[in-house]
Structure 1
Amino acid sequence: MKRNANGSGSIRQRANGKWEARVTIGINPGTGKPIRRSIYGNTQKEVRQKMTAVIRELDKGTYQEPSKMTVAEWMDEWLSTFCTNSVKPLTYSSYEGIIKNHIKPSVGSIALQSIKGTHIQKLYNDMTKQGLSAKTVKNVSAVLHKALSVAMKQGFIIGNPCEAAELPKATKHEIQPLSDEEIPLFLQAIESDSMKNAYALCLFAGLREAECLGLSWNQVDFEQGRITISQQLQKEKKKGAKYYIADTTKSGKPRTIEPPAIAFEYLREEHLAQQQNRLRAGEVWSNPENLVFTNTVGNHLAFSTFYKHFKKIAEKIGRPDARPHDLRHTAATVAIASGSDIKSVQDLLGHATASFTLNVYTHTSEKMMQDTANRMQSYYENLAKKA
C-alpha cells in the first residue's frame, strides 16, 4: 500500500517525442490525493534511470523536491531570517562582508542543492592563492558552515558539504610584546603625544583598542582602583560606516580588573585634560557617552588616528613592526613574568578560558613554569638541609 502511494511511477512518450515519467512522491495530507512529480528526458532509458533514482531516494528517505534556489539566495535568506535578531550588530556586519566579498563571488551562483565539497574546497584554495591568511579562510568557512547547517535543518539540502572540505593549516602568529628595554623607551616616546594616556592604559591594563576607546568614566572607580570593561567602540563595516558604542565586550561578558596604580595616574591626568578641553570648547563640547578618551570637543577618537600615532611612536623606539595590540600582549607578558597565575591573567585579558591564555602566551608561561620548578627545588633543598 505504501509503495503504491509513495514511489510508484509510470512512463509515456509525449507528442513532441520527449519522454515523461510521473512518480508519486507523497500524499497530500489535506486531500488524501497523491502528489506526483514529472521527470523528462530525450529517451525512454534516460527517463527510466531518473525515475529509478528518485524512487531509490524515496525509499531511503533522502528525496528532496528540486529547487532553483542558489547559494547566494540562501545566504541572503539565512542572514535576514536567522541572524537579524540573534547576533550582535558587529557580527552581522562581519557576516555581510564575508558573504559579499568571498562566498557570493565564488559559489553564489551554484544551486543550493548542487553545491559539493569540491566547490567549497576550491573557494578555500583560491583564497589561499590570493594570499589571504588561514584565519580569514577559517572565518569564511565558519559563516558558510553555519548557513548550510541551517539549510540542512530546513530540509533544503541533505548534508553539509563543508564537512567534505579541508581548511588550510593555520600558522601560529608569534606575539611580539615590548621588551623590558623597550617599555621605558615607549613611555618616554608617548609623553608629547595627545593619545599618551590611552596608550599607557592599554599597556598597564591590557585593554583591547576598542575597549580603551570605548571606555566610559562611569566604568572607572578611582577609590577602589578598579575598571569595569563592559562596552567598546566599534565601526560599521560598510560604505559610509559610522562609529557606535557596543554594550558588550569581545567575549560577550563584562569584566572588572584591578590594574597597577600607575594606570590610574594616567587616567587622572586624562580627566584633568578633558575638563580643561571642555571649558575651552564651551557649547560645542559633546560627549554623550561620557567617554574617557576624546578629542578637544568631546568626540570619540578614530581607530585610524589611534593606529597612525602609534606607528610613529613605534618607529621612534626601533619597533616599526609593533601594533597597538602588542601593548595588550606586553601587559600579559609582564603579568606572567612578575608571578601572576594564568587564571589571573585570563581574568585581566577577558579570555574565555585559561587554556586559551596559556596557548597564546606559551613561551612566557613556559618561563613561569620553569621559575616555579626552580622555587620548588629551592624549597625541597632547604627542607633537606634542615633534616
Structure 2
Amino acid sequence: MANVTSYETRSGRRWEVRYLKPDGRSSRKRGFMRRRDAELWMAEHVTAAKAADSFVSHEAGMVTVGQLYEQYETEKLPIWKPSQAYTVKSRWRVHIAPTFADIPVNRVTRAMLQQWVSELAAKRSSSLTCATAHIMAGILRLAVRDRRIVRNPMDDVTLPSRSQRKLLRTYLTVPQLMRLADECLNGKRLAVQRRAIVLLLGFCGLRWGEMCALRVGDIDYERGRVEVHANLVKLGEWVEGTPKNGQARSVPMPRVVADALRMVTDGRAAGERVFVENGRPPRQQSVSRAKSNRTWYISALRHAGVPLVSPHELRHTAASIAVHAGANIKALQRMLGHATASMTLDVYADLFDSDLDDVARMVDATIAVECPSANHVQTVSTAANSSMGVAH
C-alpha cells in the first residue's frame, strides 16, 4: 500500500510518498517538488517493483559502500587464500575506499564508477584496474543480492583492455640451463643449494613459492617425483597456502634434478624446508635493473652467458624442454599445475607451432613403412614428368 501526501516547508509545499515495505514496516520518500514526480517515483519504485518482486527500500540503500565492504570481506575471508585476502584488502584501502567508502550504495552511479575506472586506468596498469573494478563489482553485487539496490551499476562500466600475454618468450636450451646451474657453483654462498634451485625450476617447472614451500619429505627419490602441495608467499611475513589453483600435484623429477637435490637433503629431517637462507625461505630473485643488480641469480646469468630470463621464466623453459622431449599437452598441464589442458595450450601455443611440420613428416614416414607401393608410384610419376620435359 502506498500514497502521496503533501507537507509544508519554509520553501513551499513539497510532496512525499508513504508506503509499506515488504516486511510490513512503513517508510517514506520526501522532497518532491510536484505531485506528479512523487506519483511517478511511487509507480516505478513501489508499485511496479513489488509486482516484479524487485522492491528495494530507500533506507536499505543508505548503507555505505564501506559498511558493505566489511560484510563482503567477512563472507569471503574464509574462502580466500592468504595472498588473495592481502591483495583485496590492499586494493580496497588504496584504490576504492578513498573514493567510495562513505557514499551510500544507492547513490553510486554508473557515471561515478566510469570516471573512477578511467582515472585509475590512466595511472595504473590495465590488469590492476580490471582486478580492482571486479572487487567493486563484487561489493555492489552483494548490495543487489540483499535488495539494497535494484541493479549493479558496474555492469555497464567500460573497463580497459587487458594487455596481451607476452608473445615472444625466451626459452633456454638444455645446454644453456646446465651452464647456468653449474655457474652457481662458483658462488661464495649456498652454491650447491642454488644450483639445485635452478635445475628444479628449469626442469620441473615449479613456481618460486612452491619451491620455497618444499619440505625434505616432499621429494620421493624412489618414484622420481616432487610432491607439490603448498606455496609460500611473503605478505609482510611468510605465509603458507595452497598452490595457485588449490590443487596438489606430483611432478616428474629427472635424474639430474634428483642428484642435485640429494646433495641438499641428505641427512636432514623430513619436515625441514629443503631450501633455507639465514633461517628463512630464499629471497625472490629478479632480472630487473640488470646493470646494477648484484644478486646471485643475475650474476650467474651474466657469467654463464645465457639470456636474461627470470626465475619464473625458467618455468617456461621447463615446459619447452618437456614438449620437445615428447610430453603431451595433458602431461604438461599436470606437471605445471594448470587448471585445464586448454589453459596450458593457450599459454604455450608457440611451443606447438612446429607440430604442423612434424605432421607431414610423420605421415610420409608412415606411408613409407606401411605402403611401400606408394613410393613406387611417386617414383614412376616423377620419371614420367621428367621424360615429358625432355621431349619438349
* TM value normalised by structure 2: 0.81
Cα shift at 1:148: 1.8
Q: Which residue of 1 aligns with 2:237?
A: 242
Between stretches 252-261 and 174-183, larger displacement belongs to 174-183
Residue 219 (structure 2) pairs with residue 220 (structure 1)? yes
Q: 1:82 is aligned with what amino acid?
A: E
Whether the aligned pair in 2 keeps the contact of 1:113 and 1:156 (CA below 8 Å) is yes
Determine whether 1:37 maps to 2:28.
yes
Q: Which residue of structure 2 lines up, in the alignment, with residue 281 of structure 1? A: none
Letter in 2 for 1:196: R
Structure 1 residue 253: Cα displacement: 0.6
Aligned-partner residue type, residue 264 of structure 1: A
Q: Does 1:24 align with 2:12?
A: no
2:165 and 2:177 map into 1 onto residues whose CA distance is: 25
Gap runs ≥5 in structure 1:
276-286
Quote the offset at 1:140 in angstroms.
1.4
Q: Structure 1 residues 50, 91: closer, same or farther in 2, change over 3 A?
A: same
**Does residue 251 of the first structure (1) align with residue 242 of the second (2)?**
no
Q: Does the 8 Å contact 1:8/1:55 carry over to 2?
A: no
Residue 57 in 1 paired to residue 45 in 2? yes
Shift of 1:28: 7.7
| Secondary structure, counterpart of 1:224 in structure 2 | coil
- Counterpart in 2 of 1:282? none
SS in 1 for 2:6: strand
Deviations 1:140-196 (A, max 9, x none): 122222222122111122212221112222222235333326324322322234222
Report the counterpart of residue 94 of structure 1 in structure 2: 87
Q: Residues 141, 28 of structure 1: CA spacing in aligned structure 2 closer, same or farther, 3 A cutoff?
A: closer
Residues 101-110 or 84-93, more deviating: 101-110
**Separation in 1 of the partners of 2:203 and 2:156?**
46
CA displacement at 1:293 relative to structure 2: 0.4
> 1:70-125: per-residue Cα shift (whole Å, max 9, x none)?
3233223311x212222222211111011112222344444321223333333332
Query: Equivalents in 2 of 1:187, 1:304: separation in Å?
Result: 15
1:103 pairs with 2:96: yes
Name the counterpart of 2:296.
309
Counterpart of 2:186 in structure 1: which amino acid?
S
- CA shift for structure 1 position 345: 0.3
Task: Please report how far the alpha carbon of residue 321 of structure 1 lies from its aligned counterpart in structure 2 after TM superposition.
Answer: 4.3
> Any idea what the Cα deviations from partners look like across 1:263-309, whole Å, max 9, x if unmatched?
1011101114x85xxxxxxxxxxx9951100125x433233699943
Q: Say whether 1:207 aligns with 2:188.
A: no
Aligned residue identity for 1:222: Y
C-alpha RMSD of matched pairs (Å): 2.7
1:11, 1:48 within 8 Å by CA — same for their partners in 2? no
Structure 2 counterpart of 1:234, which letter?
V
TM-score between both structures, scaled by the size of structure 1:
0.82
Aligned equivalents of 2:285 and 2:181: distance in 1?
Answer: 21
Q: 1:158 to 1:385 in 2, by over 3 A?
A: same
1:357 equivalenced with 2:344 (yes/no): yes
- Mark the CA change 1:315 to 1:105 in structure 2 (over 3 Å): closer, same or farther: farther
Does the residue aligned with 1:303 lie in a helix, a strand or coil? coil
Secondary structure at 1:10's aligned position in 2? strand
Contact persistence 1:11–1:20 (CA under 8 A): yes
In 2 relative to 1, CA 310–326 (structure 1 residues): closer, same or farther, beyond 3 Å?
A: same
3-state SS of 1:182 partner: helix
For residue 251 of structure 1, give the secondary structure of its aligned residue in structure 2.
coil
Query: For 1:366 and 1:178, how far apart are their aligned partners in 2?
Result: 15
Do 1:10 and 1:23's aligned partners in 2 also have CA atoms closer than 8 Å? Answer: yes
- Given residue 316 of structure 2, which amino acid in structure 1 is its aligned partner? H
Q: How many residues align?
A: 355
AA partner of residue 299 (structure 1) = R
Structure 2 unaligned segments of length 5 or more: list them.
50-54, 289-294, 375-392
What is the aligned partner in structure 1 of residue 387 from structure 2?
Answer: none
* 1:350-377 CA-partner distances (Å, limit 9, x unpaired): 0000111011111112223432443133
Preserved CA contact (<8 Å) 2:215 2:273: yes
Quote how far apart the aligned CAs of 1:207 are: 0.3
Counterpart secondary structure, 2:309 = coil
Shift in Å, 1:318: 4.9
Higher mean alpha-carbon deviation, 112-121 vs 176-185, is at 176-185
Distance 2:214 2:231 in 1: 7
Deviates more, 1:112-121 or 1:312-321: 312-321
Identity, in percent, stands at 21
8 Å Cα contact 1:57-1:63 kept in structure 2: yes
Q: 1:293 matched to which residue of 2?
A: 275
Task: Report if aligned partners of 2:180, 2:306 keep a CA contact under 8 Å in 1.
Answer: no
The structure having more radius of gyration, on CA atoms, is 2
Retained in 2: the 8 A contact 1:230–1:254? yes
* Matches of 2:251 and 2:313, distance apart in 1: 19
Q: Which segment is superposed worse, 144-153 or 351-360? A: 144-153
Could you tell me whether the CA contact under 8 Å between 2:29 and 2:58 is conserved in 1? no
In the TM superposition, what is the alpha-carbon distance from 1:57 to its structure 2 partner? 1.4
1:72 aligned onto 2:63: no
Residues 28 and 35 of structure 1 are in contact (CA less than 8 Å); yes or no, is this contact kept in structure 2? no
